[in-house]
Amino acid sequence: MEINSLTSFELSRSISSREISALEAAEFYLEKIGRLNPALNCFLHAAPDKVREQAKRIDGLIESGENAGPLAGVPVAIKDNILALDSPATAGSDILEGFLPPYEATAVTRLREAGAVILGKTNLDEFGMGSSCEHSAFGPTLNPWHAGRVPGGSSGGSAAAVSAGLAPAALGSDTGGSVRQPASFCGIAGMRPTYGLASRYGLIAFASSFDQIGPLARDTKDLALLMSAICGPDHLDSTSLDCSSDFLSGIEDGIEGIKIGVPTEYISKIEDADVTCALDHAVKTFKDIGASVDEISLPEPDATVASYYVIATAEASSNMARYTGVHYSSRAGSGPTAGDMIERTRNKFGPEVKRRILLGTFVLSSGYYDRYYMKAQEARARITGMFEEVFRSFDIVILPTAPSPAFKIGEKLSDPLEMYLCDIMTAGASLAGLPALSVPCGFSADGLPIGLQIIGPKLSDASVLRAGRAFEKKTGLCNQVAPAME
């Protein structure tokens, strides 16, 4: 049996039925990581002995006749801003050098309880601040489809690991699009759950009112499997929602009769003709499988990006204040005063983190709070209301996940504003706390993947996944293989 060809759902069933062992699956992926990761730089940390121990425990449960869980033996990669016991957590930053967390993220604990094997920690833009995975203190991750292109960010390491076949599934975190955009650039599926559906306990904070842990996998059925494992109420997270977390039930039911809206204002923001062509094909595909599709108005895409970055940087400024070297983070030597020591320590931040701290501190400062921060919050409420109005008449909204395919490494580093505009398609769902899914919907003329974003009203995660599943079954694009996997 070819392990590489199996989805997480299929792999779990094969391990549970003892067609293959969890240890065989673990060894397969460990070998691929050892062979391909030095070039791709997807993983920052992997401990083969610990992976084998986990796999042997799962095999022992199965051999004794016990239920090893719905993810029995499935190796899952974890973005390195999500805490896992016995693994370093760097958030892609020098300032967390040597940090071993004393506790574990609820999402990771729930994966273990479901039988998953934690494979290792993946690369990311420092503290999740970036759209390209170039802002890591440990070097950029490369796109498995083209080594000269970025994999997207900030969950670029997780997305590239799945795309390259180094893991069948992974967890990332999505603030303004950090699961969906890398899923699009790497030709896989990625999901941002409704805000509060997946616990944020153990996720290193960037912008707390946006941050959400989400899965990446080869198809939406695997996403539903992972979502069912990690979602659900958590008393350790005050924003956690008390909601059901079964997303597999009904995922194959199709979408006959659903109403889909395509926002015209966002279509005008597409930068690449191939993306426009892929969206047109997606519209036709949805019509072919029984949905009705109409153009809708969803104004102010530019205000969406502006308000997102004002609020997110303000929250980042607050969250980053803890990294002083006094009680938290590594310390960069000493100095004549505590202020000198803190200044030296904070110089360990990379340029993008410093930029966002400064911007966030500025918009929160006296004299500018009302002018920028409060206006951004007003825009957030207005954008949320626009989505609510649309969902009174339509079941889902579709638009490209990104305005272009993956861009070249280094192409946007000199222009931060151009980099920020990469989030123009994804920031709206983040502002409104909506479930949003990216699935492959085509390729550019030079063979780069293009993603389609499917957005639904709050707590419609199961319906969003069902729409994605119907689309990918019709197109077959989830079965495309990145060159690094071949």
The mean pLDDT of the chain is 95
Q: Which amino acid makes up residue 110?
A: R
Amino acid 341: pLDDT: 80
Domains, the chain, in order of start with CATH, read 3-258+438-446+461-485 (3.90.1300.10)
- pLDDT, tens digit, 9 for 90 and up, residues 171-221: 999 999 999 999 999 999 999 999 999 999 999 999 999 999 999 999 999
Asked if residue 223 lies in contact with residue 173, where contact means CB atoms within 8 angstroms, the answer is no
- Give the tokens for residue 376: 């951004």
Of 154, 155, 199, 245, catalytic:
154
Q: Cα(370)–Cα(360) distance, rounded to whole angstroms?
A: 13
Query: Over 90: is that where the pLDDT of 335 sits?
Result: no
- pLDDT, tens digit, 9 for 90 and up, residues 435-449: 999 999 999 999 999
- pLDDT, tens digit, 9 for 90 and up, residues 75-84: 999 999 999 9
Q: What is the pLDDT confidence band of residue 311, given thresholds at 50, 70 and 90? A: very high
The percent of residues above 90 in pLDDT, for the chain, comes to 90
Q: Cα(446)–Cα(466) distance, rounded to whole angstroms?
A: 30
Amino acid 478: pLDDT: 87
Query: Over 90: is that where the pLDDT of 340 sits?
Result: no
Query: Over 90: is that where the pLDDT of 361 sits?
Result: yes
Three-class HEC string of the chain: CCHHHCCHHHHHHHHHCCCCCHHHHHHHHHHHHHHHHHHHCCEEECCHHHHHHHHHHHHHHHHCCCCCCCCCCCEEEEECCECCCCCCCCCCCHHHCCCCCCCCCHHHHHHHHCCCEEEEEECCCHHHCCCCCCCCCCCCCCECCECCECCCCCCHHHHHHHHCCCCCEEEEEECCCCCHHHHHHHCCEEEECCCCCECCCCECCCCCCCCEEEEEECCHHHHHHHHHHHECCCCCCCCCCCCCCCCCCCCCCCCCCCEEEEEHHHHCCCCCHHHHHHHHHHHHHHHHCCCEEEEECCCCHHHHHHHHHHHHHHHHHHHHCCCCCCCCCCCCCCCCCHHHHHHHHHCCCCHHHHHHHHHHHHHHCCCCHHHHHHHHHHHHHHHHHHHHHHCCCCCEEEEECCCCCCCECCCCCCCHHHHHHHHCCCHHHHHHCCCEEEEEEEECCCCCEEEEEEECCCCCHHHHHHHHHHHHHHHCHHHCCCHHHC
Q: What is the pLDDT confidence band of residue 166, given thresholds at 50, 70 and 90? A: very high
Please calculate the CA angle 246-247-248 and round it to the nearest 5 degrees. Answer: 100
Query: Over 70: is that where the pLDDT of 420 sits?
Result: yes
Of 163, 178, 199, 317, catalytic:
178
- pLDDT, tens digit, 9 for 90 and up, residues 240-253: 999 877 899 999 99
Q: What is the pLDDT confidence band of residue 462, given thresholds at 50, 70 and 90? A: very high
Amino acid 167: pLDDT: 98
Q: Is 154 a catalytic residue?
A: yes
Of 8, 16, 32, 79, catalytic:
79
Q: What is the pLDDT confidence band of residue 126, given thresholds at 50, 70 and 90? A: very high
- Closest-CA residue to 437 (of 110, 250, 77, 194): 194
- In the numeric block, the tokens 């039930």 are attached to 249
Amino acid 346: pLDDT: 87
Amino acid 1: pLDDT: 64
Query: Over 90: is that where the pLDDT of 169 sits?
Result: yes
Asked if residue 309 lies in contact with residue 352, where contact means CB atoms within 8 angstroms, the answer is no
- Give the tokens for residue 486: 């071949």
Q: Cα(463)–Cα(250) distance, rounded to whole angstroms?
A: 9
- pLDDT, tens digit, 9 for 90 and up, residues 263-310: 999 999 998 999 999 999 999 999 999 999 999 999 889 999 999 999
Q: Is 158 a catalytic residue?
A: no
Query: Over 80: is that where the pLDDT of 339 sits?
Result: no
**Across 124-128, 431-435, 478-482, least confident range:** 478-482
Amino acid 33: pLDDT: 97
Amino acid 486: pLDDT: 59
